[in-house]
Amino acid sequence: GEDVEQSLFLSVREGDSSVINCTYTDSSSTYLYWYKQEPGAGLQLLTYIFSNMDMKQDQRLTVLLNKKDKHLSLRIADTQTGDSAIYFCAESEERDDKIIFGKGTRLHILP
């Protein structure tokens, strides 16, 4: 079945890089997403990558995809206090298809 796994917690010092990892099981996954959720808020689409890409960079965010191992990572450079949130890894077969989410990684920023 379809499943997305990610670690539940990550603590990083302010100014360091954060790397959040995710694995997925669905070989038909075409789109892989990273969403951010702040307390009491909805989901903010941070970035997404097509399965035929290895890497995508967008300002402080770098997404790496290893399709063979079904492994996705999100790197946040120069982590700031405003980056404190829950980050969800997710996948879908088509862009408008149902999205399968992981349980989220809570990113905690240390001063």
Q: Which residues of this protein are in contact with another protein, per CB under 8 A?
A: 4, 31, 33, 35, 41-45, 48, 88, 90, 94-104
Q: Smallest gap, in angstroms, from Cβ of residue 89 to another protein?
A: 9
Q: Smallest gap, in angstroms, from Cβ of residue 71 to another protein?
A: 18
> Which pair of tokens denotes residue 64?
């790496």
Q: How far apart are CA 42 and CA 72, in angstroms?
A: 22
3-class SS of residue 81: helix
Nearer to another protein, 4 or 76 (CB): 4
Nearer to another protein, 79 or 104 (CB): 104
Nearer to another protein, 10 or 43 (CB): 43
Judged by phi (left if over 0) then psi (alpha if -120 to 50, else beta), residue 99 lies in beta
Q: Smallest gap, in angstroms, from Cβ of residue 28 to another protein?
A: 14
CB 89 within 8 A of CB 10: no
